[in-house]
């Protein structure tokens, strides 16, 4: 996994810089998502890992699947990846590209887990507070975990804010044991 991330980093950076210069970042993100999903398909992954096929043949398979879904520039990018035997890194490249895009957009994806569904007013207030705290545009994805007693768990990148009742009880328990 770490190896694919290392391989993906320069390709994602180059693709992002090109897309930024061409003012096509969102379109590139969408196309990279499409080809990354294709590569993640079990049948396509089997073809890409087949040692009896040449790098060009593997690239052509992916291009045939992506026909009509990608531009000539992304097609050239895929050909480059195929020549360098890096097609299997496409999901990691797409992931790194998304990180670069979010950083450029000054946006962050936030996962909010709650015991019950949040209403629109609660989501709006939470969005405002997180935007102010993080200094970025916040894209909230909510999830309901009925096993929680109450409160919220908020995950934004490496940061986790555990405001759940269970989390507070665990913290209290640790404090009492110390």
Does 2-103 match 106-177 in CATH topology?
Answer: no
May I ask the CATH class of domain 2-103? mainly alpha
CATH 1.20.950 fits 106-177, yes or no: no
pTM: 0.66
Which pLDDT does position 111 carry in this prediction? 93
| pLDDT score at 75 | 92
Give exposure, 59-72, as e/b (b: 16+ Cβ within 10 Å). Answer: bebbbebbeeebee
Q: Among residues 166, 137, 173, which one has the least CA distance to residue 152?
A: 166
Class of residue 42 by CB neighbours under 10 A (exposed 0-12, middle 13-18, buried 19+):
exposed
Residue 147 has a pLDDT of 87
Q: What residues does each domain of the chain span?
A: 2-103, 106-177
What pLDDT does residue 5 have? Answer: 82
Those residues of the chain that have pLDDT short of 50 are 1
């Amino acid at each position: 996994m770490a190896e694919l991330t290392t391989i993906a980093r320069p390709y994602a950076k180059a693709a992002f810089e090109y897309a930024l210069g061409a003012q096509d970042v969102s379109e590139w993100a969408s196309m990279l998502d499409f080809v990354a999903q294709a590569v993640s398909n079990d049948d396509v992954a089997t073809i890409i890992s087949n040692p009896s096929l040449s790098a060009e043949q593997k690239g052509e398979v992916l291009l045939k699947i992506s026909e009509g879904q990608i531009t000539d520039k992304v097609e050239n990018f895929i050909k480059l990846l195929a020549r360098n035997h890096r097609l299997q890194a496409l999901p990691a490249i797409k992931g790194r590209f998304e990180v670069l895009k979010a950083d450029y957009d000054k946006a962050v994806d936030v996962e909010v887990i709650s015991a019950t569904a949040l209403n629109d007013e609660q989501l709006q207030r939470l969005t405002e507070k997180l935007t102010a705290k993080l200094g970025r545009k916040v894209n909230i994805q909510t999830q309901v975990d009925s096993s929680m007693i109450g409160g919220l768990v908020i995950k934004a990148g490496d940061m986790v804010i555990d405001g759940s009742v269970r989390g507070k009880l665990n913290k209290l328990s640790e404090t009492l044991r110390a």
